[in-house]
Structure 1
């Protein structure tokens, strides 16, 4: 199950044959996000397990997840944008039903991220799922 925004991202990736082009597209997605206010870059929103600094701020509005995030690494900011397209707008139950590994595989991310980046992506997904489970 994926959101319309994620399906659109998958379609964009289908037109990009080279991994370098996909990598650039992920970075562009991160650059297009609004900046996370400094006031939200606190220990409570910091994600452990990432090689770079990562903050995710999640909230539920009308029962649907909306989160923003930031990182000091451009590719990680892009991964946050990808996760936002995957999860934003879903209910807690829908968030928990997403097979994030399978969805990321549709983008070819599983095969091209370093071990550290893969661990960081997994940590971000875990944080999002923990937030949904607690809602």
Structure 2
């Protein structure tokens, strides 16, 4: 059995397929909340201003680790739905080379209909989180 994690592109396709199982958005939101609950515990000491993602209505913290060859991200939020969004973002972007992170567009946001179903503040927050994550990757490449 191949235990290597799928590429960012494959991860996005997998996410689209998972969300296609659910008939309506109330089920999809519930699935997002469930995904958020499965995030690994986030260290309290990392909930600092330095790691905070600005532009989110809810509190979000994002911590990078690793180097350009392989970057990892830990993140958390005080919002259940935003935690679910974080889980999706980490599936696509964490554990990858910085160059792949920078080059990968978050197509899953469109493909699962998130763009249409998130409030403007949540959409802005997701964009801010992705920008910060890609910023960390760009720094690692620099």
| Structure-2-length-normalised TM-score | 0.88
Alignment partner of 1:41 is 2:44: no
Secondary structure of the residue aligned to 1:48 is coil
Alignment partner of 1:86 is 2:82: no
Alignment partner of 1:131 is 2:129: no
Q: Is the 8 A contact 2:67 2:98 kept in 1?
A: no
Q: Is the 8 A contact 1:3 1:87 kept in 2?
A: no
Q: Is the 8 A contact 1:3 1:85 kept in 2?
A: no
Task: From the superposition, tell whether residues 55 and 96 of structure 1 become closer, same or farther in structure 2 (CA, over 3 Å).
Answer: same
Q: Is the 8 A contact 2:64 2:136 kept in 1?
A: yes
Offset at residue 35 of structure 1 (A):
1.6
Match of 1:16 among 16, 22, 28: 22
- Structure 2: unaligned runs, 5 residues or longer: 1-6
1:10-51 CA-to-partner distances (Å, cap 9, x unmatched) read 221111121111111111110011121101111111111100
Match of 2:75 among 58, 61, 69: 69
Match of 1:28 among 21, 26, 34: 34
Larger Rg computed on CA atoms? 2
Distance 1:3 1:67 in 2: 18
Offset at residue 3 of structure 1 (A):
4.6
Paired position in structure 1 for 2:112: 107
Distance 2:67 2:33 in 1: 27
